Structure 1
Amino acid sequence: MSDIKSGGPALRQSSESSASTASGYGMLILLLVILVGGPAFGIWAAQRNMDAAAGITLVVGSIAFAFIAIGFYLLQPNQAVVITLFGDYKGTDRTTGLRWTWPWMIKKKLSVRANNIISERIKVNDLRGNPIEMAAQVVWRVTDSAQALFDVDDYKAFVNVQIEAAVRTIGSRYPYDDFEHQEVTLRGNHDQVGAELRLELIERLKVAGITVDECGFTHLAYAQEIAGAMLRRQQAQAVVAARQTLVEGAVGMVEMALDQLSAKNVVELDDERRAAMVSNLMVVLCGERDTQPIVNAGSLYQ
């Protein structure tokens, strides 16, 4: 363990180390020898009127049996056992199978497998102050068992709290949406924002010996109180953008039509006739309904 000073009292940061343990299979054989050999020797001694030897064998065998049996523990893949002695950290055992250590050692088992959690929906104000609802999915696992057990009170509760804090931080750092597509947004840049959320969580959780393998948003939407207004705003901006594109295309088509009419000498147009044709073409090209042709049998000047 090392001491870390941060402007106040020294804080002790734990660090995982390997524990001195033994394979349980050798001790299991010894246990079977005691279990079979002890009673056999006791019977043999009793038959020869060696009552004292038989009694000593029974007592010693019982104590040895209990001593060995208490030291066994079993480790499955991706599990670890943290071993302490009178509150002092003695190391972590990650070797799978049947294991054995001294009976007076305190053993605390924990999982180092990947955990998946989906946070609760929380309300956050984005960069522009709009209330939005967010929820995240996070895959995390313990990398340092000593830090997880000794540097935080409850590492699972710690993960939940830090996920909420990180989501609030990232949510307030960017706008929900940018209709001009000039900024990084929560809705339009999922990969970039998700990667930044992962880095934020790794930084927050490293004090507990935890890393984050994957994370992303499972829910992202405007809050109920402004969802309707924002929807109307999106619709209005979409209509304006569509109209702008339509007008730009219509102007180009009118310009092309007038240029070709003049180049091929189809008709001679003065300014008034040109203006009338432009008006009619713009109505035809930009109108939302089908146009009805009108045959003009007279003249524009009568």
Structure 2
Amino acid sequence: MTDTIKVMNPTRERPASTFNGYAMLATALVFTALTIWGFVRFIAAAKADMPLGGYVLWMVLCLLVALLSWSGFYMIQPNQAAAITLFGAYRGTDRETGLRWVWPWMMRKTVSVRANNLVSEKLKVNDLRGNPIEIATQVVWRVSDTAQALFDIDDYREFVDVQIEAAVRTIGSRYPYDDIEENEVTLRGHHDEVSGELKQELQARLAVAGVAVDECGLTHLAYAPEIAGAMLRRQQAEAVIAARAKLVLGAVSMVDMALTKLAEDSVVELDDERRAAMVSNLMVVLCGESDAQPVVNAGTLYQG
């Protein structure tokens, strides 16, 4: 397992202090209406030659509150979050959906926490045996900690791409592509186990970015073109050898069973020479690739 990537003073997500946008919308509408009412009263007082100082103060205060209210709105869609900062300092993350409100001097940066599906490019990697192979993977990931994704990593999407490539290269070189002779984990024969280890490798690498891996698996696995023909012939030869080995074991078992049954039932008595001849004939019949042609012996068994 690759050591977890670490950063100095990692940031952790925490809830932000924000307000319900609909309540603040009502407040903004009320003070906007009061500003308009104050302006109307100001005009009426000016025509009546009345003191205007109180109306001016009223309009200025209501206008400031209205402008302050209108400038703090923002919207959060489902599976989105908004990171709040104040003069560069992280103040928390708002995950409440709908219309929201925060003080205008606080900055908001929206982050998607939806699942992302990424299919990597085909990479050329040397497997455990040193054979060049082509490998690609599909990864489902999402942002789990918005503070880490925004403030601990310069570009978390680019970081995900680079770490997926590094993890695929690491896993690809950790196992052989295929092995018929030995009972070991291979890339081609143990898909679930390899995918599970790839997920652990990716999670360890992406934890620093606040990214969680939901699913991953290999989408392409093949020998590199320059050795594909030779490795295919090798696989075919190994498959033929393995099939022949099983065929011989089965034939030997059947010959032994036939001779044992003949002896137990006293069907025929065979000396060592004719027992060897029968074994040879049975092995030819059982292991031959073409159908055997029967030969009828019209004489006696021991006719020389």
Deviation at 1:179, TM superposition (A): 0.7
Question: Is the 1:43–1:54 contact (alpha carbons within 8 Å) kept by the matching residues of 2?
Answer: no
Give the whole-Å Cα distance in 2 for the aligned partners of 1:91 and 1:68. Answer: 21
Conserved? CA contact 1:79–1:112, under 8 Å: yes
Counterpart CA distance in 2 for 1:134 and 1:161 is 15
Confirm whether residue 269 of structure 1 aligns to residue 266 of structure 2.
no
CA distance in 2, matches of 1:264, 1:74: 91
CA offset digits 1:3-28 (Å, max 9, x no partner): xxx8xxx9332121222211111211
CA–CA distance in structure 2, aligned partners of residues 266 and 89 of structure 1: 94
Report percent identity of matched pairs. Answer: 63
Instruction: Specify the alignment match of 2:127 in structure 1.
Output: 126
State the alpha-carbon separation in 2 of the partners of residues 89 and 146 from structure 1.
8
Deviations 1:246-270 (A, max 9, x none): 2222222223333333444443433
Gap regions ≥5 residues in structure 2: 1-5
1:225 partnered with 2:222: no
2:22 alignment counterpart: 25
TM-score of the two chains, using structure 2 as the length reference: 0.88
Q: Which residue of 2 aligns with 1:3?
A: none
| Residue equivalent to 1:289 | 290
Q: Deviations over 1:216-274 (max 9, x none)?
A: 11111211112221211111111111111222222222233333334444434333333
SS at match of 2:201: helix
Counterpart of 2:35 (choices 22, 33, 38) is 38
3-state DSSP class of the match of 2:219?
Answer: strand
Which is worse superposed, 70-79 or 258-267?
258-267
Contact 2:38 2:59 in 1 (8 A): no
1: CA distance, partners of 2:145 / 2:266: 85
- Give how far 1:212 is off: 1.1
Deviations 1:69-96 (A, max 9, x none): 1110111222111111221111111122
Residues 151-171 of structure 1: CA deviation (Å, up to 9, x unaligned): 111000000000010111111
1:12 corresponds, among 9, 14, 21, to 9
Which residue does the alignment assign to 2:103? 102
Pick 1 or 2: higher relative contact order, CA cutoff 8 A, min separation 6: 2
SS in 1 for 2:173: helix
Q: CA separation of 1:16/1:258 partners in 2, compared to 1, >3 Å: closer, same or farther?
A: closer
Question: TM-score, normalized by length of structure 1?
Answer: 0.89
Aligned-CA RMSD value: 2.2
Q: How does 1:48-87 map to 2 (within 5 A)?
A: 48-49=45-46, 59-87=60-88
Gaps of 5+ in 1: 1-5
Comparing 20-29 with 53-62, which one deviates more in the overlay? Answer: 53-62
Aligned mates of 2:266, 2:147 — CA distance in 1: 90
**Contact 1:116–1:138 (CA under 8 A) maintained in structure 2:** yes
How much has 1:60 moved relative to structure 2?
A: 4.5
